[in-house]
Structure formats: structure tokens, C-alpha cells
Amino acid sequence: MLPEELKDIAKKLMTYALGETRTIDLSLNEQALLAQHYIHLSSNWNAAKGLNESGLNILFINRPADKSARVVHPNA
């Protein structure tokens, strides 16, 4: 069951995904709700270029900090 606080957001996202509108049109409050409670960045990463003898020619910007510590930034 979808939480009540997400129902209007889901409708907007579905309308956008189905091509019925050209913009998502989430309010600032809706965006903040998603960012604070629902959006997750995984801490499961591949090696970055040059780290642990990796030959990959890529770099992950949101890679966890040293010793796999999670850096938490205050939401504005």
C-alpha cells in the first residue's frame, strides 16, 4: 500500500511517465519529502579509477567516504 503522503506525487509521476504532461511539476515540499525520506543512494560501489589497483576508467561522484563511512549532509 502506498503511503498517503505519496499518492499525489505518484499521480504526478505517472502522468509524466505516460507522456500526458511534459513536466513532472512536483512542488518544493513534495521534492523535499522525497529527498528527506525516500530517495536513497546505494553504498554498493565498484572500485573507482586507481583505487585498489582498479583499471576502470571511471569515477563515481557519490562514492562513500573513507572506510565506507556514510556522509550525511543536512537537508536545506
| 54 lies in some domain | yes
Q: What is the average per-residue pLDDT within 8-19?
A: 95
How many whole angstroms from its chain centre is CA 51? 24
Average pLDDT score, the chain: 79
| 75 lies in some domain | no
pTM of the predicted protein model: 0.55
Q: In total, how many domains does the chain have?
A: 2
Looking at the structure, tell me whether residues 16 and 33 fall in a common domain: yes
Domain span at residue 7 reads: 1-39
| 62 lies in some domain | yes
| 55 lies in some domain | yes
